Amino acid sequence: MNIELRYQQVSDAERFYEILSNSTFKNFGVQPENIEAEIEYLKTNDERLKRGEHNYTICHNNIIVGGCGIKLNQHYKHIAALGYFVDTNYQGKGIATKAVELMENIAFNEFGVIRFELRISEFNIASQRVADKCGFVREGFLKKGIKVTDGFRDVYLYAKIKK
């Protein structure tokens, strides 16, 4: 499977909105209200990058099939967190697994990360499977461990340590 990551562009907004607003897309917790909101979000990526947030577009044969990101912990410099989503029409083909492998390579080998963390809702079985396949270890359960649009969500904490 030919999967590439590149930095997100404002022109990705239409395709991201299409993916994120699909009624069968679930578990992400954050949904843009309209394309304009997605454009505004993507415009903030330059500022986010200055705070150590590297957001990528996942491409398959030059088609945008998802998004992902690495957030460098600004206090504990050896730690980073990751996140990802894949278009419902492209799920189950190993795309998230490949994107995580690519992010791991960037985080460990370019950003000097030693500990790579992933927070996954207790109900998100697909993402837990991705974490397992990529060799992340479930370390604990965090009550209200992530903030989503309508409040907070309990999550499992996964981590992978650089060898």
Ligand X SMILES: CC(C)(COP(=O)(O)OP(=O)(O)OC[C@H]1O[C@@H](n2cnc3c(N)ncnc32)[C@H](O)[C@@H]1OP(=O)(O)O)[C@@H](O)C(=O)NCCC(=O)NCCS
| Closest CB to ligand X among residues 77, 82 | 82
For residue 94, state whether it binds ligand X (rule: CB under 6 A): yes
| Binding of residue 31 to ligand X (CB under 6 A) | no
Q: Output 64 or 130, the one with its CB closest to ligand X.
A: 130
Tell me how crowded residue 81 is: count the other CB atoms within 10 A of its CB: 19
| Separation in Å, CA 127 to CA 7, 36, 76, 87 | 22, 28, 25, 13
The helix (H) or strand (E) run that includes residue 21 is none
Which of 3, 64, 107, 130 lies at the binding interface for ligand X (CB under 6 A)? 130
32 lies in the site for ligand X, by CB under 6 A: no
Q: Which residues contact 143 (CB under 8 A, 6 or more apart)?
A: 154
Chain residues that interact with ligand X, rule: CB under 6 A: 27-28, 83-86, 91-97, 120, 124-127, 129-130
